[in-house]
Structure 1
Amino acid sequence: YRSIETADCTFVYYCLSIGLSLISEMTSHDIKLEVCVDSIRSAFAAVAGGASRIELCSALSEGGLTPSVGTLKTLKESIALPVYCMLRPRRGTDFVYSDEEMCAVLTDMDLLRQNGADGFVFGSLNPDRTINVDQCRHVMLQSEGLPVTFHRAFDLTDQKRMQENVQLLRELGFKRLLSSGFRPSAAEGLDNLAQLIAKHHRDFIVMPGAGIKVSNLEEILTVSRCMEFHASAMDTAGEDYVAPTTQMECDVTMGKQDIDPYYGTNANVVRKMVTIASAMSCR
């Protein structure tokens, strides 16, 4: 059930996202912003701010896990931007998955594809931190031609073999790589990112991500010379956002308590990033 107000709001976002999508197609040379979100509200904020694409996750507080089918389906009925779905079955930064976990990944992938996913984001390693070729091949086969991004599991691999590993990802069929350049943040890994982009920019997308903010975006774009970047563009909810319920002091808790439930993607932050990227595209 949806109220008239909710339906009207959804229609407005849908029309807005169609317009932004068309603009994005007409200016494909522009630097594109992919915004990672873990809620419907954050996705709407990304659209309102002018993002080019959405990476849909759940639990960004855990680095981003596989989203629910319900969230994806609701978004696809409301927005026209491409939505790539994270495929990550659990928390942790080893990215070493059991056969059972991969079964869950592939099952989720089927359901997400059937409900409108435009692409996927995945990464899998062996215990020695090499890329798990077999598991990646299974994912590429299951994608049925939809584009797949290899995520920051790459940053745990051997830095000395970064060029060879990008070549391996290309051969496996991945369309882009999300990386912080083997450092905690893209700003710290700029030199490595610039090397990767310089070598592969003609036929493979290397997308900087992690810790990208309005304050460091211009430097990251200038040094890396990337054509796409990835950010959550988070801030507290704007003044115009009205929380659906009022939080009250309570002894009953559920999950982490140091996370602001209204901290998410902010349309104004997205808009500032898009403005910077547009200005850089014209140089």
Structure 2
Amino acid sequence: MSLTYEICIDSVAGAIAAEQAGAHRVELCSALFEGGLTPSLGTVRAALAAVSTIRVNVIIRPRGGDFIYDEHEVAAMEHDVALAREAGAHGIVIGALTADGEIDRAVTERLIAAAGGLPVTFHRAFDMAADPFAALETLIELGVDRVLTSGQEVSVLEGAPLIAELVERAGDRIIVMPGGGVTSRNIGRILEATGVREVHFAALTDEPSPAVHRNPRPYMGGELRQPEYRRRVTTAAAIGTILQAAS
């Protein structure tokens, strides 16, 4: 069975690299260090204009941290879903939980309605659900197309037993897509252990900033600091290495 490869990206250049490498779909985000947040509308439009053969799904997540959202955050997500749809996005990626670790049905229904028929992926908020099997059934009832999960573990390799069981229980009712810590070294074992049809991964490489003048003293972020003059970029070569390892 042929596999579908989805690449997690945070730039237009990442979409181009994924298309060049032969991937099928991207999840367009901002702030990958936060686990992926809603990208700007300008980035969404630019990415869609830059590629032609690859599908662009857009994550809708207003902030980092937990997945329990207040009314204002939900309203913002509804607007962002509508904007992504109107811009021509091929799908949206959402996730919302209750304080008890259940799928937030009301919020999910609102966001699905805002998507206006676009395919919907439920992101790794699923990995924080209290009961993964109950959560899976809820997502199926709500009409979600796929769920992204690491098997509720630190990476897909550790979560492979749960993912395999989710795949078996899901059948043809929803796509279970593993994501989190997928590399060229472990993708073969992951595919063999889980029986999945789609796989999600990032393919990031460090690249120095082009800045000639550099001030090493101030930082633009918080206390957990990333190097100011280093970029994390998606490359076609890094994607190709993982695709080759999977074949």
Q: Tell me the TM-score normalized by structure 1.
A: 0.81
2:240 corresponds in structure 1 to 271
Alignment RMSD: 1.6
Shift of 1:110: 1.1
1:98 aligns with 2:82: no
- Cα distance in 2, alignment partners of residues 227 and 269 from structure 1: 21
1:213 corresponds in structure 2 to 183
2:235 is aligned with what amino acid?
Answer: N
1:155 is aligned with what amino acid?
Answer: D
Percent identity between the two aligned chains: 36
- Cα distance in 1, alignment partners of residues 43 and 22 from structure 2: 20
1:65 aligns with 2:41: no
2:192 corresponds in structure 1 to 222
1:236 aligns with 2:206: yes
1:25 corresponds in structure 2 to none
- Cα distance in 2, alignment partners of residues 276 and 206 from structure 1: 21
1:255 aligns with 2:221: yes
Question: Any residues of structure 2 matched to 1:80-99 within 5 Å, and which?
Answer: 80=52, 81-92=54-65, 94-99=66-71
What are the Cα deviations for residues 202-259 of structure 1, in whole angstroms up to 9, with x where unaligned? 231100001111111110011011110110111224xxxx854336234343125424
1:172 aligns with 2:131: no
Unaligned residue ranges in structure 1 (runs of 5+): 1-28
Unaligned residue ranges in structure 2 (runs of 5+): none
Aligned with residue 142 of structure 1, among 89, 96, 114: 114
- Cα distance in 2, alignment partners of residues 71 and 89 from structure 1: 15
Describe the SS at the equivalent of 2:158: coil
- Cα distance in 1, alignment partners of residues 71 and 145 from structure 2: 25
Q: Where has structure 1 moved over 6 Å in runs of 4 or more?
A: none
Whichever structure has more strand as a proportion of its residues is 2
Describe the SS at the equivalent of 1:258: coil
What are the Cα deviations for residues 119-163 of structure 1, in whole angstroms up to 9, with x where unaligned? 1111101111111000000011111100110111111112xx322
- Cα distance in 2, alignment partners of residues 85 and 262 from structure 1: 22
2:211 corresponds in structure 1 to 245
- Cα distance in 1, alignment partners of residues 213 and 161 from structure 2: 45
What are the Cα deviations for residues 153-201 of structure 1, in whole angstroms up to 9, with x where unaligned? 111112xx32232121011010000001111111110100011112223
1:15 corresponds in structure 2 to none
Asked if the contact 1:236/1:266 (under 8 Å) is kept, the reply is no
- Cα distance in 2, alignment partners of residues 197 and 35 from structure 1: 20
Greater C-alpha Rg:
1
2:211 is aligned with what amino acid?
Answer: T
- Cα distance in 2, alignment partners of residues 206 and 133 from structure 1: 19
Asked if the contact 2:12/2:50 (under 8 Å) is kept, the reply is no
- Cα distance in 2, alignment partners of residues 219 and 264 from structure 1: 26
Q: Residue 243 and residue 261 in structure 1: after superposition, are their counterparts in 2 closer, same or farther (change >3 A)? A: closer
1:46 aligns with 2:42: no
**How many residues in Structure 1 have an aligned counterpart in Structure 2?**
243
Describe the SS at the equivalent of 1:165: helix
Asked if the contact 2:11/2:47 (under 8 Å) is kept, the reply is no
Describe the SS at the equivalent of 1:104: helix
